[in-house]
Structure 1
Amino acid sequence: MLRKRSDAAGPVEVRGARLADEFDRAADRYDLLTRLNPGYHRALRTAARELVSRLTRRSGAGPLTLWDLGCGSGLSTRALLDAAGEDARVVGLDASGGMLSHAEAKSWPSGVRFVQAFAQDLPRVAREHGQHDADGAFAAYLLRNVPEDQRDDVVAAIRDQVEPGGWIALQDYHVKDRRVATAVWTVVCWGVVMPLSVVVRGNPAIYRYLWRSVVDNDSTAQLQARLERAGLTGITWRTGTGWQRGILHTVLARRPQADPA
């Protein structure tokens, strides 16, 4: 399994490495904290099923080939396998070695691989692993961890790693330009998530970052525009349930059968 990051050491890479280190420190308690988040696993499973339902209708036969981008400790990988079947071939990519260590310690069928790399390295990873024509890609809680001026490039790279006609599912928290959603998100983070991270001996710093990264994340309109600039079609949105309504969003988009000239 690949265990290296880009050789470049510019400001973006340095910031990315520091963030990955914070996720490393949070890795031991990450799964526990997600279990305490009502609806977290259900939302992953629902998004994975929505993605796979489109791919199953299109491919018709054979195991699906999937990307799991920002796979973390493998929770989204498990959601994909539950939806696609144990014979699916999945490459999970994440920048945090600590999170990937927890992912790899779990039981997986032979078709699952994990790669340590930044999302910006996706084209290189795809070449090295022969995964440039996957049926689909799932990216949960990924793009807000990518510098804003690189998000268009990452969206285009994700598009390029699925074959024409393939589908992409993105899931994340989007509260920008939504006052009520921003207020609820702030209360949940500062009143629930961060105190819990202290109680379970997690890494409170990563959850303070979580709050800020969501507040600063693309609005749904901004992400819609990124998807459209990448030439993706069939774009559909769904919001979460319960406290996550208007905060958590899942968007599905399709790479056209023939890309624009």
Structure 2
Amino acid sequence: MQLAEQFDRAADRYDLLTRLNPGYHRALRRAADALVGRLHGAASPLTLWDLGCGSGLSTDAVLAAAGPDTRVIGLDASAGMLAQARAKSWPPGVSFVQALAQDLPEVAARELDGPADGAFAAYLLRNVPEHQRDEVVAAVRDQVRPGGWVALQDYHVKGDRVASAVWTVVCWGVVTPLAFVVRGNPAIYRYLWRSVLDNDSTAQLTARLEHAGFTDLAWSTAGGWQRGILHTVLARRPS
């Protein structure tokens, strides 16, 4: 089964499961605040991408940080997740597009007249095939204006044995059992466990971003059990 179809099957329980994850929404908001803070000199209202928007939780974090007049284009490959997102109440400037991250240039040509001010991408690149990640990073760069910023948030544990062990314990001891209890398609959470272990290390993602020409990279990690596991990186497209 294709990955997007697995997310489709998990979509109607996804928000419930995230509410059971301490710090999930707080981490999204902190990353969105950091992105918008870097764009304080931009013309208002902002235009922002929300790449891998899923059920719209990250979209909500972006709007809370940037304000309801913000133009936000959410992109996701899962029809089920986007159905959940579209069912929520949004200001007029929010729209959602079903597409792969690899299709960003074509989507941008249809949706916008020029590059956006910035891009937010939570839990995106891990779900892109490794051989296409550089292509996606370059596409994100091209769809952000010179001087604009991107914020990428995801789990990165490769090369850290302690973080990998904690991640495994949490996935198999907490996340997957909860998915069974709430009928949230446990298969997608088994995939989540493995995909995080295989995801880029912070050093590998740094190299991808620098190779694409991004500068001023700033890394941070979450608190609590996610310390050293959940990371956010901010990066700027040079003017």
So what's the TM-score if we normalise by structure 1?
0.91
Equivalent-residue separation in structure 1 for 2:183 and 2:232 (angstroms): 30
Aligned match of 1:44 in 20, 24, 28? 28
Query: Root-mean-square deviation (CA), in Å?
Result: 0.8
Partner Cα separation in structure 1 for residue 127 and residue 114 of structure 2? 23
Is residue 182 from structure 1 mapped to residue 172 from structure 2 by the alignment? Answer: no
Q: Which runs of 5 or more structure 2 residues have no equivalent in the other structure?
A: none
CA contact (8 A) 1:182 1:215 kept: yes
1:148 alignment partner, one of 106, 114, 130 = 130
User: Which residue, 212, 225, 236 being the options, matches 1:243?
Assistant: 225
User: How many Å separate the matches in 1 of 2:184 and 2:88?
Assistant: 20
Mapped to 1, the partners of 2:151 and 2:83 lie a distance apart of: 25
The Cα shift of 1:132 comes to 3.9
Within the candidate set 24, 27, 31, 2:15 is matched to: 31
Aligned residues: 239
Q: Deviations over 1:188-228 (max 9, x none)?
A: 00000000000001100000000000000000000000000
Q: Provide the C-alpha distance between the structure 2 equivalents of 1:68 and 1:130, rounded to a whole number of angstroms.
A: 14
- The gaps in structure 1 that reach 5 residues or longer are 1-14
Partners of 1:55 and 1:88 in 2: CA distance: 12
Aligned to 1:74: 56
What percent identity do the matched residue pairs reach?
77
Q: Does 1:115 align with 2:113?
A: no
Q: What is aligned with 1:3?
A: none
Q: Tell me what 1:219 maps to.
A: 201
Runs (4+) off by over 2 Å:
none
- Aligned partner letter, 1:24: D
Distance in structure 2 (CA, Å) of the matches to 1:203 and 1:124:
31
Q: Is residue 2:39 matched to residue 1:55? A: yes
Q: What's the offset of the Cα at 1:131?
A: 5.4
Report the AA paired with residue 172 of structure 1: D
Aligned residue in 2 for 1:10: none
- Separation of aligned partners in 1, 2:81 and 2:113: 22
Aligned partner letter, 1:129: E
SS of 1:182's partner is helix
Q: Tell me if structure 2 keeps the 8 A contact 1:131–1:161.
A: no
Matched, 1:197 2:191: no
- Matched letter for residue 161 of structure 1: Q
Q: For 2:53 and 2:114, how far apart are their aligned partners in 1?
A: 18
Alpha-carbon distance in structure 1 between the residues aligned to 2:112 and 2:23: 35
Q: Which residue of 1 aligns with 2:88?
A: 106
Measured against aligned partners, the alpha-carbon deviations of 1:151-195 in whole angstroms (never above 9, x if no partner) come to 000000000000000000000000000000000000000000000
Read off the aligned partner of 1:232 and give its amino acid letter: F
Give CA-to-partner distance per residue, 1:124-167, whole Å, 9 cap, x none: 00001125410000000000100001000000000000000000
- 2:216 paired with 1:234: yes
Per the normalisation by structure 2, the TM-score is 0.99
Match of 1:163, SS state, is: strand
Q: Distance in 2 between matches of 1:213 and 1:227?
A: 20
Offset at residue 62 of structure 1 (A): 1.8
Matched-pair contact (CA < 8 Å) for 1:95–1:118: yes
Residues of 2 paired with 1:229 and 1:67: CA distance? Answer: 21
